[in-house]
């Protein structure tokens, strides 16, 4: 019994299979024998199926189509077909009666076809393929009239126009140009007396109305009108995506001010079409006519118009977003580049503390112009490095950076160094000398320790700042220069002005853009970076390989007050590297511990500076000059150290004992 049932089942299955096969063969013969071309294209514009009729129309074998693009088979003609193909993919709607007149590569005479395109969806509802049904019309050169059955419908020309506009709309980038093109598209596709776009503006949470075309006087004000998204006239279309056609009775029944205004100007028909995109509903396309039932017969065409407008608007929004993001990215890159420059691209300016970053931002602000800069700060803070950074970032970077330390040159020689002198100007002036001002022409002059310039020389410097001219010592010829002046001092110039030790007019001329360089105490987080930098620098110079810095030593370095600032730290690390025998840095902690004891008992900065100088003088046996002298250890000029010793009241007996 079971065996018979199984046989019955097999016979039924075989009968069913044979029946399906017969239907498949019948369908194949029907499709192949029909005088209608059929093709299926995938999203890459490749043939996945063609029937025999289409192959004959293209004069290319059926098997030669499969897997190849339309461009491969039809050459330049493919560009015309791609327009409706892309339209169907984008809108998911069929496109009937597309007329194609072209000269195919495999044919001698041009041909004429009527083509119908329709979307083919997969199981998830996504359009994966586009089907094409093609009817070939008689040769365009034939004298006989076209059979009525193949006549192109009345709307065909408008479909063709719409397809051409779709390609143009996709390439428009400027909003004003886009609205003009949409206006032209709508005017060509419809016979509306009034057309507008109501687009949602997220910034105001409402609809912004853009009038495209209007034969109605005063339908909308010339300026853009804003409406709430819940406006009674547009709510169902914008909020719910409903295609609406309102006739005279509907308009009479509405209380919406926007629609009542149209009705008062003779509008008898109104069509509101949602502009639907992948982003959702962008707004509405609004068409109005003085004729009754003006849009009832054009629903399909208007849906396609709206679909094209939505695609164009979505592309414009995407481009606008890309431009905004690119600008934001550009600004972020500029900000990041500024941060990188602030931390790493100022030569030997090492650190990333907020105090140092503020200084470097000021440097970048003032560098591009020629304003005079006054750099303030304690000794050893790196004022010269800041001056060099300003010069390097300025428009004078290709010019010379000329430096003059006003405290390191005897008063009698300072004028000659600055302005130069003529032969015979004074005893010993056996030749003409070019001063620093002339050397700095078209560049930057950096006057370090400018507070040390004597009073009698200050009016001459003021003249240079004001008029950019001077005379050499012993000369009569006025010399014009083009310089930028950067000055630096560790003195309180305002206090010196009050004490009549510095001219007020020169002070105000120097004080155009002051930059205060922070002490190392104010940027203690940079100490570890500086220590590592100096260890690498001196290890390389002294041919040593130091790989580690003891944690205890680093903590001591970070807590010491460093009255000599970065210069003192640099000299101390150089001494530590010299003392190091192995791979670990040998830091003389006893010096720092004794210094910390002094600090804990309330010593002033001057006391700490005095103690530091005394300590170095003791180490050098009182020797000031020379490579291994105290001045070199402290990173000072010999004359500067002598001036400090005198100012601090240090006596020989203090460091010789």
The per-residue pLDDT for range 183-194, each reduced to its tens digit, is: 777 777 777 888
Query: Among 359, 389, 393, which residue's Cα sits nearest to residue 376?
Result: 359
Most confidently predicted of 421-430, 514-523, 646-655: 514-523
Side by side, the strands of the sheet bearing 225-228 are: 225-228, 206-214, 194-201, 280-289, 269-277, 244-246
Q: Which of 106, 111, 52 is nearest to 80 (CA)?
A: 111
Q: How confident is the model at residue 10 (pLDDT cuts 50, 70, 90)?
A: very low
Q: Is the pLDDT of residue 148 over 90?
A: no
> What CATH class has 354-516?
alpha beta
Distances (CA, A) of 591 to 501, 560, 572: 37, 10, 10
Kindly give the residue spans of alpha helices, DSSP state H, lying in 345-457.
Answer: 354-366, 383-393, 411-419, 436-439
Rounded Cα–Cα distance for residues 314 and 297 (Å)? 28
Residue 551 has pLDDT above 60, yes or no: yes
- Length of the chain as a residue count: 657
Q: Which of 50-54, 79-83, 136-140: highest mean pLDDT?
A: 50-54
Give me the pLDDT at residue 462, please: 93
Share of the chain residues as helix, strand and coil, in percent rounded to the nearest 5: 50, 20, 30
Token pair 């810095």 is found at 549
Place of tokens 């074998």: 61
Mean pLDDT of 424-435: 81
The mean-pLDDT minimum among 105-109, 244-248, 568-572 falls in 105-109
Which residues lie closer than 8 Å to 487 by C-beta, 6 or more apart? 372, 373, 374, 375, 446, 447, 448, 450, 510
Ramachandran bin of 588, using left for φ above 0, alpha for ψ from -120 to 50, beta for the remaining angles: beta
| Whether the predicted pLDDT of 386 surpasses 90 | yes
Query: Does residue 16 carry a pLDDT above 60?
Result: no
pLDDT above 60 for 375: yes
Mean pLDDT across 71-83: 83
Angstrom distance (rounded) from CA 99 to CA 161: 11
From-to residues of CATH 1.10.8.60 in the chain:
521-656
Tell me where in the chain the CATH 3.40.50.300 domain(s) lie.
354-516
More confident residue, 519 or 594: 519
**pLDDT band for position 168 (cuts 50, 70, 90):** low
- Residue 447 makes CB contacts below 8 A (sequence gap 6+) with 404, 406, 453, 485, 486, 487, 488
- Give the pTM: 0.43
Integer Cα distance of 73 and 75 in angstroms: 6
Q: What is the pLDDT of residue 445?
A: 93
Poorest-confidence range of 55-59, 97-101, 262-266, 442-446? 97-101
In this structure, are residues 341 and 499 in contact, taking their beta carbons and an 8 Å threshold? no
Residues 6 or more apart whose Cβ sits within 8 Å of residue 84? 95, 98, 115, 117, 163
Which pLDDT score, from 0 to 100, does residue 1 have? 36
Domain 162-320 fold is: Beta-Lactamase (3.30.450)
Between residues 601 and 528, the one the model is more confident about: 528
Better-scored residue on pLDDT, 225 or 528: 528
Q: CA-to-CA distance for 395 and 386, rounded, in angstroms?
A: 16
pLDDT class of 639 with cuts at 50, 70, 90? confident
pLDDT of 111 reads 81
pLDDT of the residue at 368: 92
Q: What is the mean pLDDT of residues 160-164?
A: 59
Structure confidence at residue 364 (pLDDT):
92
Distance set, CA 374 to CA 349, 405, 416, 455 (Å): 18, 14, 23, 18
In this structure, what token pair is assigned to residue 47?
């043939």
Is pLDDT at 637 greater than 90 in this prediction? no
Is it the case that residue 298 has pLDDT exceeding 50?
Answer: yes
CB–CB of 68/83 below 8 Å? Answer: no
Q: Looking at residue 376, what is its pLDDT?
A: 94
Q: What is the pLDDT of residues 273-291, one digit of tens each?
A: 888 877 778 888 888 888 8
**Per-residue pLDDT averaged across 330-342, rounded?**
48
Average pLDDT of every residue of the chain = 78
Using a pLDDT cut of 70, give the percent of the chain over it: 80
Mean pLDDT, to the nearest integer, of 238-257?
A: 80
For residues 447 and 108, what is the distance between their CA atoms, to the nearest angstrom? 87
Residue 98 has pLDDT above 70, yes or no: yes
Q: Which pLDDT value is given to residue 503? A: 93
Please enumerate in sequence order all residues whose Cβ is within 8 A of that of 322, keeping only pairs 6 or more positions apart, or say none.
none
Tell me: domain 521-656, CATH 1.10.8.60, correct? yes
Q: Which CATH number fits domain 30-141: 3.40.630.30, 3.40.1740.10, 2.70.180.20, 3.30.450.20?
A: 3.30.450.20
End-to-end CA distance of the chain: give it in Å, rounded. Answer: 128
Tokens of 569: 């730290």
| pLDDT computed for residue 450 by the predictor | 93
The per-residue pLDDT for 530 is 92
Q: What is the pLDDT of residue 657?
A: 54
The residue that leads in pLDDT, 571 or 235, is 571
Can you tell me the mean pLDDT for 229-258? 77
Domain with CATH 3.30.450.20 in the chain: 30-141
């Amino acid at each position: 019994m079971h065996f018979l049932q199984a046989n019955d089942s097999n016979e039924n299955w075989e009968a069913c299979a044979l029946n399906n096969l017969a239907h498949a063969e019948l369908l194949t013969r029907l499709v192949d024998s029909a005088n209608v071309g059929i093709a299926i294209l995938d999203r890459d514009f490749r043939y996945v199926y063609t029937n025999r009729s289409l192959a004959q129309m293209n004069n290319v074998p059926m098997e030669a189509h499969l897997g190849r693009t339309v461009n491969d088979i039809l050459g330049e003609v493919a560009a015309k077909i791609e327009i409706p193909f892309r339209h169907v993919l984008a809108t998911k709607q069929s496109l009937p009666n597309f007329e194609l007149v072209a000269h195919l590569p495999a044919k001698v005479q041009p041909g004429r076809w009527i083509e119908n395109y329709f979307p083919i969806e997969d199981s998830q509802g996504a359009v994966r393929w586009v089907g094409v049904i093609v009817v070939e019309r008689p040769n365009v050169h034939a004298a006989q009239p076209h059979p009525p059955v193949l006549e192109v419908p009345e709307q065909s020309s408008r479909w063709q126009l719409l397809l051409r506009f779709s390609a143009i709309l996709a390439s428009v980038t400027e909003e004003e140009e886009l609205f003009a093109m949409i206006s032209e598209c709508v005017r060509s596709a419809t016979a509306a007396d009034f057309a507008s776009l109501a687009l949602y503006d997220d910034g105001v949470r409402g609809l912004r109305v853009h009038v495209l075309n209007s034969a109605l006087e005063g339908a909308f004000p010339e300026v853009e009108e804003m409406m709430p998204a819940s406006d009674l006239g547009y709510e169902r279309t914008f909020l719910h995506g409903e295609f609406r056609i309102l006739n005279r009775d509907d308009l009479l029944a509405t209380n919406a001010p926007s629609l009542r205004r149209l009705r008062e100007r003779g509008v008898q028909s109104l069509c509101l079409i949602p502009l639907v995109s992948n982003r959702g509903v962008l707004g509405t396309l609004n068409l109005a006519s003085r004729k009754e039932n003006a849009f009832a017969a054009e629903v399909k065409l208007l849906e396609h118009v709206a679909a094209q407008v939505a695609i164009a608007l979505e592309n414009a929004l995407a481009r606008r977003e890309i431009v905004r993001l690119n600008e934001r990215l550009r600004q972020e890159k500029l900000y990041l580049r500024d941060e990188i420059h602030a931390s790493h691209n100022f030569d030997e300016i090492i650190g990333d503390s907020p105090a140092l970053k503020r200084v470097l931002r000021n440097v970048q602000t003032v560098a591009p112009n020629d304003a005079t800069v006054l750099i303030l700060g304690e000794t050893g803070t790196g004022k010269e490095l800041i001056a060099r950074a300003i010069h390097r970032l300025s428009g004078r970077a290709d010019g010379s950076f000329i430096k003059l330390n006003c405290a390191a040159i005897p008063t009698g020689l300072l004028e000659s160094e600055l302005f130069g002198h003529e032969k015979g100007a004074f005893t010993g002036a056996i030749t003409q000398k070019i001063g620093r001002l002339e050397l700095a022409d078209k560049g930057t002059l950096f006057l370090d320790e400018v507070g040390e310039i004597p009073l009698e020389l200050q009016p001459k410097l003021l003249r240079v700042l004001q008029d950019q001219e001077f005379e050499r010592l012993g000369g009569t010829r006025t010399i014009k220069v083009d310089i930028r002046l950067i000055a630096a001092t560790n003195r309180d110039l305002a206090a010196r002005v009050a004490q009549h030790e510095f001219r007020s007019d020169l002070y105000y001329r120097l004080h155009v853009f002051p930059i205060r360089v922070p002490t190392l105490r104010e940027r203690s987080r940079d100490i570890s970076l500086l220590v590592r930098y100096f260890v690498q620098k001196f290890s390389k110079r002294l041919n040593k390989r130091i790989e580690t810095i003891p944690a205890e030593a680093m903590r001591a370095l970070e807590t010491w007050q460093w009255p000599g600032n970065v210069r003192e730290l640099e000299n101390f690390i150089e001494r530590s590297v010299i003392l190091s025998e192995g791979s670990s840095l040998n830091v003389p902690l006893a010096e720092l511990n004794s210094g910390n004891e002094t600090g804990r008992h309330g010593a002033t900065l001057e006391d700490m500076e005095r103690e530091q100088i005394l300590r170095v003088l003791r180490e050098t046996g009182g020797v000031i000059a020379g490579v291994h002298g105290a001045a070199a250890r402290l990173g000072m000029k010999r004359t500067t150290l002598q001036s400090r010793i005198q100012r601090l009241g240090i006596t020989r007996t203090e460091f010789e004992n």
